Amino acid sequence: MRMNQLTEEIPHLDTFKRYGKIHRVVGLMIESKGPEASVGEVCIIHSSPKKGQQILAEVVGFHNENVLLMPYSEITDIAPGCLVESTGDPLQIKIGRGIIGQVIDSLGRPLYEDMQLPKGLEMYPTDQSPPNPLSRPRIHEPIQVGVRLIDTLLTVGKGQRIGIFAGSGVGKSTLMGMIARNSGADINVIALIGERGREVKEFIEKDLGPEGLKKSIVVVATSDQPALMRIKGAYTATAISEYFRDLGFNVNLMMDSVTRVAMAQREVGLATGEPPTTKGYTPSVFAILPKLLERTGTNHLGTITAFYTVLVDGDDLNEPISDTVRGILDGHFVLDRKLAEQGQFPAVNILKSISRVMKQITSTQHQEAANELRSMLATYEENQELIQIGAYKKGTSRDVDQAIQYHPSIISFLKQGTEEEVKHDEAVSQLLKLVGRGE
């Protein structure tokens, strides 16, 4: 039966290869006359015969019946009249269990020069649609993050999506490394998007470490790479997470940073002629963010717990990307520069941070203890100036007296060394003991 179907299809096959020709190059954009291709398809640009190289590019739009392409690599070898061939497919990467422990680029190629991808991998498209909202199971189980203040006061559930908001140099990478090493997830997928080249190896060897790398897949797209490679780095990491989620794994996806993905999309949008709107960001930026971020979460097979870092320009939490991402995700952790300057690490500002699913996944006793600690911390902060200048008299307020008494213990509880590992149950027990609710 199958053979008969194939035989019937043979007369309808198109055996011709159709090419286009480079018409012009302006900035990041390559314009060609043909070939027939749709938006999102990968094309091969054949450089001059002397060079004999093939450059991959993606169709991003059309102009006056010409095809607009963005390259995945440098375009120094492209000349007028170079042939453009359509592959007929969107970007696909090789994926399988064999890539665990590997460091790859946005196209799924290993970054270590002496490394080869193992055999037995399958092709998997990087661009997927978010799952049907009614097919997503509710989040009902906590996941161990391995950071005491998060596990106790900002408890994360399996399949939750969290934003880590911070300015530069406040400890985002260090916090991500702690989560990768100490988390209860089966696999970590870490996307380093728009990072400085120097920081990549530093993160892998120092923050992640050999133990963390054993159960991780690192996707790297440095700041010097074309905008499309930085965007595809985010899509590739998300696709890898989806693949392992569909195998039944609990996956941690950590992306540093979603802001640089938005900046790369802004470059593409401006190059294709989109108008700049909010603070120079084009409309397509605010269109792709929900599509990308909604791909993670739960399905009936497994979970993707996602941590997206957001680089806050000038520590302004209300700038356009921060505001948009905060509205899409299921919670946010705010890293405070003031706390970092005081030597409190992780520098998470508990009072400005929230986990929107914590009430669904924690016991009543745990919630009451967390609220009590938050209340004491807020009371101390409100009266901090009076306390520091000695204007507050002991006995004036019972709540303030309690906040002053507990404050050193609370700060000690919130601090955690980068190498210190704390289990989820152990952290909750420490919280209950601190506020006098434990045994």
Q: Give SS3 for 399.
A: helix
93-358: CATH number: 3.40.50.12240
By the 10 Å C-beta count (0-12 exposed, 13-18 middle, 19+ buried), 153 is classed as buried
Closest CA to 334 of 211, 156, 150: 150
What is the band of 14 on the pLDDT scale with cuts at 50, 70, 90? low
Encoded amino acid at 105, one letter: D
CB 77 within 8 A of CB 71: no
Q: Check pLDDT > 70 for residue 15.
A: no
Distances (CA, A) of 108 to 11, 33, 117, 200: 36, 29, 9, 16
CB 269 within 8 A of CB 284: yes
Q: Give SS3 for 383.
A: coil
The radius of gyration computed from the CA coordinates of the chain, to the nearest angstrom, equals 25
Compute the Cα dihedral for 424, 427, 432, 435 and give only its sign. Answer: negative
What angle is formed at CA 100 by the lines to CA 123 and CA 251, rounded to 5 degrees?
90
| Structure tokens that stand for 214 in this block | 């054993």
Structurally, at CATH architecture level, domain 365-435 sits in Up-down Bundle (1.20)
* Residue range 29-53, pLDDT digits in tens: 899 998 888 999 999 998 876 666 8
Q: Check pLDDT > 80 for residue 415.
A: yes
pLDDT at 329: 96
pLDDT at 53: 82
Within 10 Å of residue 376's Cβ, how many Cβ atoms? 22
Beta-bridge partner residues of 321: none
- Give the Cα separation of 136 and 305 in Å (integer): 13
pLDDT at 272: 85
Look-up of token digits 């004491």: 376
Q: Check pLDDT > 70 for residue 314.
A: no
Q: In degrees to the nearest 10, what's the CA dihedral of 124, 125, 129, 133? A: 10
Encoded amino acid at 426, one letter: E
| For the chain, domain boundaries | 18-90, 93-358, 365-435
Average pLDDT over residues 331-347: 92
* Residue range 390-402, pLDDT digits in tens: 888 888 899 999 9
| Range 18-90 has CATH code 2.40.10.170 | yes
CB 163 within 8 A of CB 310: yes
pLDDT at 4: 76
**Residue 395 φ/ψ region, left for φ over 0, alpha for ψ in the -120 to 50 degree band, beta for the rest:** left
Cis peptide upstream of residue 137 (ω within 30 degrees of 0):
no
Encoded amino acid at 413, one letter: F
* Residue range 194-252, pLDDT digits in tens: 988 888 999 999 888 888 899 999 999 999 999 999 999 999 999 999 999 999 999 99
Encoded amino acid at 96, one letter: G
- Give the Cα separation of 313 and 291 in Å (integer): 23
pLDDT at 95: 95
- Give the Cα separation of 139 and 159 in Å (integer): 6
| Structure tokens that stand for 319 in this block | 């700038």
CB 283 within 8 A of CB 269: yes
| Structure tokens that stand for 423 in this block | 């289990």
Q: Check pLDDT > 70 for residue 2.
A: no
When the pLDDT of each residue in the chain is averaged and rounded to a whole number, the result is: 90
Which DSSP string do the residues of 176-244 spell out, in sequence order? HHHHHHH---SEEEEEEEEE-HHHHHHIIIIIIHHHHHHTEEEEEEETTS-HHHHHHHHHHHHHHHHHH
Spell out the alpha helix ranges (H) of 294-362: 320-328, 337-341, 358-361
- Give the Cα separation of 195 and 333 in Å (integer): 21
- Give the Cα separation of 279 and 259 in Å (integer): 13
More confident position, 152 or 80: 152
- Give the Cα separation of 377 and 305 in Å (integer): 28
